[in-house]
Structure 1
Amino acid sequence: MQQDLPVVVIGAGPTGLAAASELDRRGLPVLVLERGDEAATSVREWAHVRLFSPWRDLTAPAATALLEARGWQPPSEDIHPTGAEWVRDYLAPLAAELAPVIRYRARVVGVSREGLDRVVDADRAERPFTLRLRTAASLEERIHARAVIDASGTWTTPNPLGADGLPASGEQSAPERIGNRIPDLAQPDVRRRFSGGTTAVVGRGHSALTALVTLSELATETPGTRILWVLRRSSIGDAFGGGDDDQLAARGALGMRARAAVDAGHVRVVTGFRTAEVRTTPRGLVLVGTDAQELEPVHQILNLTGFRPDLSWLNELRLGLDPALQAPVQLAPLIDPNVHSCGTVYPHGAAELAHPEPGFYLAGMKSYGRAPTFLALTGYEQVRSIAAELAGDRASAARVELTLPETGVCSGSGIADQPQADTASPAAGGSCGTGCDPSPETQPLAGSTPPRNR
């Protein structure tokens, strides 16, 4: 019977571990599949970055209850941890408590219904899910599940440099000089690579701002270090965020520090530039725009233009996704950055995350598709509602309450490039709105959903 099968959670990151905790609390059998060697694989890759959410917003209720029953002491709720501290003080202990239900080095490469492809209607909801795995020994295995929660995040699928959503010509020919991560300048070899040369930072979200601040500090210490900030929009606009009005003080401070770096002259801003090509020359890498404009040669390129979901291994499922955001159709209007600003996210849970494939849910950063600014709190509430729905507690599943900190500004739309007064130019005071690339607790910021989740 399907009821005897586990609910399979894909990804042992912050949202996946929270989902397992919620399912365990409700007495539902659960199995977590993690392709890495340990939990929170993606968070460990940006361990040097400090989050802009404090501890009070980084722990899930069911997970906290599970840990506290074992004598765990929560960190001070007002402290902003680094990724490494988040892992050490919460995610790793939680994974240890959930160890009996977690399988590591188990990569999901396909999900379907037992004996049915996506075309077949008959008895579909009565058939269990089939998950095809690739194990550490490169062997293939199939397991069955009564329901599936995909919390695998987006960290491993960053957006390409190309303004058309495709890799720019030449982008993949210099992988050692084009990165998608905020550099850890505490590492001597990384510091040497960025010292004394010019780095192009492409993007305008929290990850890009963090990189600007980090590299500008290096520029004050190392002569010859320069930063080129490349923006697709026609102006800086609201990229610096809400400043003192941001309800997450560290997020507001990040924008103000990035503005100060630009004001200090460490950063040269290029607006209205849409990358078409990366050209390798004897003097360095040259970004070429869709209008054939060429920028100055640079030594390194940081492509911090956000992330997208990997849906390739879900091809045999009937997904209901918004055609633009690649988020669940009921959720997309609530998070569409073309419409919403101020960091506002309306309450949502199992109902908004459901698909035409009964029993399948996207949760965490992956549920947002290509939309930005995902916070851990959102993922925790999502999986609480999903677990309640799977347990048959419809009232609890529908009782979704979520209040997220706003950026403090309501100007500008999300990702549309519309001419507007540049109230956030280096010389202006003005106010700024929300950023536009995914910057969750699964993703670096001096700051913040990053990833992504695993």
Structure 2
Amino acid sequence: MNAPATDQLPVVVVGSGPIGLAAAAHLVERGLEPLVLEAGTAAGAAVRDWSHVRLFSTWAEVVDPAAEKLLAPTGWVRPDGAAYPTGGDWAEQYLQPLADALGDKVRYGATVTGVARAGRDRVVDSGRDEQPFTVHIATADGREERITARAVIDASGTWSVPSPIGADGLPALGEGAVSEHVAYRVPDLNDPVVRARYAGKRTAVVGSGASAFTALAYLADLAKVEDGTHAVWILRRGIGAGTYGGGEADELPARGALGLRAKAAVEAGHASAATGFRTEAVERDADGRLVLLAEDGRRLDPVDEVIVLTGFRPDLSFLAEVRLGLDERLQAPTALAPLIDPNVHSCGTVYPHGVNELSHPEQDVYLVGMKSYGRAPTFLAMTGYEQVRSIAAALAGDREAAERVELTLPETGVCGGAGLFDDPDAAQSGEGGGCCAAPTTLQIGIGAPVSSGGC
């Protein structure tokens, strides 16, 4: 039997998170066949890992338009647009119903282990663009399979690769040896087992972004009912006007309030700050407790636990045989990186982007969602929804629609605190906040500067 024509093959989407499922919805809307491969057992597996954390964005800002159209015939009722969902709410009330609506276009227990051109490793030029992709997967029952695809949209995110304690981007000396006392996620203190881990203990919280604020706020609440609970907040920079975000001036009230809670935790004595502390090593003292050492020789008083919230980075290992064009610093697509580089941009100066900025030397391979931002710390769900709308249009041959980015932007306001990314150390460590708020819809060309304020 002859192999099917490339344009009859599915578009493989890696990951069933919000951006991956939105990609599938846009592909369906365009008459294309998606196949979503999810390593977990349910939609939004990574989102479910932080189900206890509340989003800063409202429901109105985290539901994709094409997805909503797909959901409408199922009787799905959109949650109150002004309410703030938790990660669990997002997964159960939106992502899982959307995956269910897509039916057999979503496959669970399928871990992507490799992507390549059929019969061509990354070195071979001859006939490359005419070949379909082979997507290698490992199934939950231990089998290996290969799927043939016309295009690959990688929406697997960065959740699986948290950044380490070390200030140089590598694990601190001794970090692995004390791993049982190091966590890389915001703890769910409603879980009795997790709560017992931190109750009455001294915990170092490394990082200065919204996740660190959340951990500090949670530990401060625990300190009010559990004597001896204390957080040691480790910042690689100093405390300045923008350290706690925008406060009451923040366009996202929930985010501003969280920053104020972190500030209150310090002022109330539930947390103490160690500033300009670049961790080089972690040691155990004579009692088995953990001591963090800085590059400048400082040693912190012993702590019992460490929570590392210094950002995430993309897993590019399964894309080794395709030709990606990535920025050498951010590991983001080369054309996108200058637009999102936190060393020079705040979220208010990021230009709109779509298929052109997300393309690679390897035709029809795209990194989308948080993975497209590489190590840049600021990302919006609605940015990802726009990315996949543009890509789906391009794959359908509608280049005009692909290049007409319909971007939803906040009108104005505080984006993560004044001068948040003025300090390169904050960008390097992945520390920093997100950005969005009351939206206004603009239609502008890809790469065109935004003339008005906004994020």
2:414 aligned residue:
407
> What secondary structure does 2:313 align onto?
coil
Pick closer, same or farther for the CA change 1:355–1:414 going to 2, 3 Å: farther
Cα distance in 2 for residues equivalent to 1:291 and 1:199: 22
Cα distance in 1 for residues equivalent to 2:348 and 2:175: 32
2:397 aligned residue:
392
Cα distance in 1 for residues equivalent to 2:347 and 2:435: 15
Match of 1:289 among 277, 294, 302: 294
How far residue 342 of structure 1 moved from its aligned partner, in angstroms, is: 4.7
Amino acid at match of 1:407: V
Percent identity over the alignment is 57
Match of 1:40 among 37, 41, 44: 44
Deviations 1:59-87 (A, max 9, x none): 00000111112221101100001111111
Within a 5 Å distance, the mapping from 1:189-204 to structure 2 comes to: 189-204=193-208
> What secondary structure does 1:112 align onto?
strand
Cα distance in 1 for residues equivalent to 2:217 and 2:60: 26
Match of 2:20 among 10, 16, 22: 16
Amino acid at match of 1:362: L
> What secondary structure does 1:96 align onto?
helix
Residues 182 and 211 in structure 1, CA contact (< 8 A), matched pair in contact too: yes
Cα distance in 2 for residues equivalent to 1:208 and 1:344: 25
Cα distance in 1 for residues equivalent to 2:333 and 2:224: 45
1:416 aligned residue:
424
* Residue 436, structure 1, aligned to residue 431, structure 2: yes
Match of 2:88 among 77, 84, 87: 84
Residues 354 and 386 in structure 2, CA contact (< 8 A), matched pair in contact too: yes
1:424 aligned residue:
none
Cα distance in 2 for residues equivalent to 1:414 and 1:40: 34
Q: Which runs of 5+ in 1 are unaligned?
A: 419-434, 442-454
Cα distance in 1 for residues equivalent to 2:406 and 2:98: 24
Match of 1:26 among 19, 30, 35: 30
* Residue 60, structure 1, aligned to residue 55, structure 2: no
Pick closer, same or farther for the CA change 1:241–1:322 going to 2, 3 Å: same
Match of 1:303 among 301, 308, 323: 308
Cα distance in 2 for residues equivalent to 1:108 and 1:375: 25
Cα distance in 1 for residues equivalent to 2:408 and 2:321: 35
Number of equivalenced pairs: 425
Pick closer, same or farther for the CA change 1:365–1:319 going to 2, 3 Å: same
Residues 159 and 305 in structure 1, CA contact (< 8 A), matched pair in contact too: yes
2:154 aligned residue:
150
> What secondary structure does 1:221 align onto?
coil
Match of 1:336 among 338, 341, 355: 341
What is the TM-score of this pair, normalised by structure 1? 0.90
1:128 aligned residue:
132
How far residue 402 of structure 1 moved from its aligned partner, in angstroms, is: 2.0
Amino acid at match of 1:380: Y
Moved more, 241-250 or 299-308: 241-250
Pick closer, same or farther for the CA change 1:215–1:74 going to 2, 3 Å: same
How far residue 349 of structure 1 moved from its aligned partner, in angstroms, is: 0.7
How far residue 404 of structure 1 moved from its aligned partner, in angstroms, is: 3.6
Residues 202 and 230 in structure 1, CA contact (< 8 A), matched pair in contact too: yes
2:329 aligned residue:
324
Residues 307 and 438 in structure 1, CA contact (< 8 A), matched pair in contact too: no
How far residue 439 of structure 1 moved from its aligned partner, in angstroms, is: 5.8
2:171 aligned residue:
167
2:384 aligned residue:
379
* Residue 231, structure 1, aligned to residue 235, structure 2: yes
Pick closer, same or farther for the CA change 1:417–1:101 going to 2, 3 Å: closer
Moved more, 14-23 or 187-196: 187-196
> What secondary structure does 2:99 align onto?
helix
2:105 aligned residue:
101
2:265 aligned residue:
261
Match of 1:49 among 33, 39, 53: 53
Amino acid at match of 2:261: R
Pick closer, same or farther for the CA change 1:363–1:68 going to 2, 3 Å: same
Cα distance in 2 for residues equivalent to 1:128 and 1:8: 11
Cα distance in 2 for residues equivalent to 1:141 and 1:70: 32
CA RMSD of aligned residues (A): 1.7
How far residue 403 of structure 1 moved from its aligned partner, in angstroms, is: 3.4
Pick closer, same or farther for the CA change 1:47–1:55 going to 2, 3 Å: same
Residues 133 and 141 in structure 1, CA contact (< 8 A), matched pair in contact too: yes
Residues 337 and 436 in structure 1, CA contact (< 8 A), matched pair in contact too: no
Cα distance in 1 for residues equivalent to 2:313 and 2:434: 12
How far residue 267 of structure 1 moved from its aligned partner, in angstroms, is: 1.1
Deviations 1:286-340 (A, max 9, x none): 1111222211110110000000000111111110100000000111111110011
> What secondary structure does 2:94 align onto?
helix
1:119 aligned residue:
123
Pick closer, same or farther for the CA change 1:172–1:365 going to 2, 3 Å: same
How far residue 44 of structure 1 moved from its aligned partner, in angstroms, is: 0.7
Cα distance in 2 for residues equivalent to 1:84 and 1:268: 31
How far residue 236 of structure 1 moved from its aligned partner, in angstroms, is: 4.5
> What secondary structure does 2:321 align onto?
coil
Amino acid at match of 2:399: R
Q: Which runs of 5+ in 2 are unaligned?
A: 437-455
